[in-house]
Amino acid sequence: MTIGIIGSGALGLYYGALLQRAGHEVRFLLRRDFDAITRKGLSVSSPKGDFHLDRVKGFRDPAEMGTVDLALVGLKTFANQHLVALLAPLMGPMTRVLTLQNGLGNEELLAEAFGAERVLGGVAFLCSNRGQPGFVHHLDQGRIRLGEFSGGLSPFAESLAESFRQAAIPCEAVADLRKARWEKLVWNIPFNGLCALTGQTTEGLLAHAPLRAEVRALMEEVIRAANAQNLSTPIAPDFAGRMIDVTASMGAYRPSMMIDRQEQRPLELDAIYALPLARAAEKGVEMVRVRMLHALLDAGEKTP
Amino acid sequence: MTIGIIGSGALGLYYGALLQRAGHEVRFLLRRDFDAITRKGLSVSSPKGDFHLDRVKGFRDPAEMGTVDLALVGLKTFANQHLVALLAPLMGPMTRVLTLQNGLGNEELLAEAFGAERVLGGVAFLCSNRGQPGFVHHLDQGRIRLGEFSGGLSPFAESLAESFRQAAIPCEAVADLRKARWEKLVWNIPFNGLCALTGQTTEGLLAHAPLRAEVRALMEEVIRAANAQNLSTPIAPDFAGRMIDVTASMGAYRPSMMIDRQEQRPLELDAIYALPLARAAEKGVEMVRVRMLHALLDAGEKTP
Helices (H), A227-274: 239-248, 256-262, 269
Residue B2 has pLDDT above 60, yes or no: yes
Q: Do B186 and B168 share a structural domain? A: no
Tell me the CATH number at A243.
1.10.1040.10
Q: Which of A214, A296, A298 sits opposite B295 (nearest CB)?
A: A214
Per the structure, the complete domain to which residue A42 belongs is given by 2-175
ipTM score assigned to the predicted complex: 0.89
Contact check, Cβ <8 Å, A299/B213: no
Per the structure, the count of domains in chain A is 2
Q: What is the mean pLDDT of residues B246-254?
A: 91
Contact check, Cβ <8 Å, A293/B292: yes
Q: Do A284 and A247 share a structural domain? A: yes
Q: Do A262 and A243 share a structural domain? A: yes
Tell me the CATH number at A156.
3.40.50.720
Compute the distance between CA of residue B256 and CA of residue A95 in angstroms, rounded to an integer: 59
The per-residue pLDDT of chain B, averaged, comes to 96
Predicted local distance difference test score (pLDDT) of residue B237: 86
Compute the distance between CA of residue A186 and CA of residue A90 in angstroms, rounded to an integer: 33
Compute the distance between CA of residue B110 and CA of residue B99 in angstroms, rounded to an integer: 9
Q: Do B86 and B16 share a structural domain? A: yes
Q: Do B62 and B183 share a structural domain? A: no
Question: How many Å lie between the alpha carbon of A35 and the closest alpha carbon of chain B?
Answer: 39
Q: Do A165 and A204 share a structural domain? A: no
Closest C-alpha to B151, from B86, B69, B230, B212: B230
Compute the distance between CA of residue A68 and CA of residue B105 in angstroms, rounded to an integer: 68
Q: Do A141 and A37 share a structural domain? A: yes
Q: Do A277 and A151 share a structural domain? A: no
Compute the distance between CA of residue A302 and CA of residue A162 in angstroms, rounded to an integer: 44
Compute the distance between CA of residue A260 and CA of residue A250 in angstroms, rounded to an integer: 20
Contact check, Cβ <8 Å, A295/B214: yes
Q: Do A184 and A152 share a structural domain? A: no
Measured CA angle at A64 (ends A58, A70), to 5 deg = 75
Q: Do B119 and B16 share a structural domain? A: yes
Compute the distance between CA of residue A150 and CA of residue A178 in angstroms, rounded to an integer: 10
Rounded to an integer, what is the distance from CA B140 to the centroid of its chain? 15
From chain A, pick out residues whose CB is under 8 angstroms from the CB of B291.
210, 214
Last residue of a domain, one of B175, B191, B224: B175
Closest C-alpha to A206, from A238, A240, A236, A245: A245
Measured CA angle at B57 (ends B30, B125), to 5 deg = 60
Active site residue A283: no
Residue B301 has pLDDT above 90, yes or no: no
Compute the distance between CA of residue A237 and CA of residue A240 in angstroms, rounded to an integer: 7
Which residue among A76, A184, A283, A302 is the active-site one? A184
Active site residues of B: 184
Which residue numbers of B have CB closer than 8 Å to A's CBs? 194, 197-200, 204-205, 208, 210-211, 213-214, 217, 288-289, 291-296, 298-300, 302-303
Q: Is B221 helix (H, G, I), strand (E, B) or coil?
A: helix
List the single best residue of A202, A296, A301 to mutate versus B (max B Cβ within 10 A).
Answer: A296
Predicted local distance difference test score (pLDDT) of residue B304: 39
Q: Which of B198, B295, B298 sits opposite A296 (nearest CB)?
A: B198
User: Beta partners for B96?
Assistant: B70
Q: What is the mean pLDDT of residues B243-253?
A: 92
Last residue of a domain, one of A152, A175, A198: A175
A86-134 residue pLDDT tens:
999 999 999 999 999 999 999 999 999 999 999 999 999 998 989 999 9
Last residue of a domain, one of B175, B195, B223: B175
A178-212 residue pLDDT tens:
999 999 999 999 999 999 999 999 999 999 999 99
From chain A, pick out residues whose CB is under 8 angstroms from the CB of B298.
208, 210
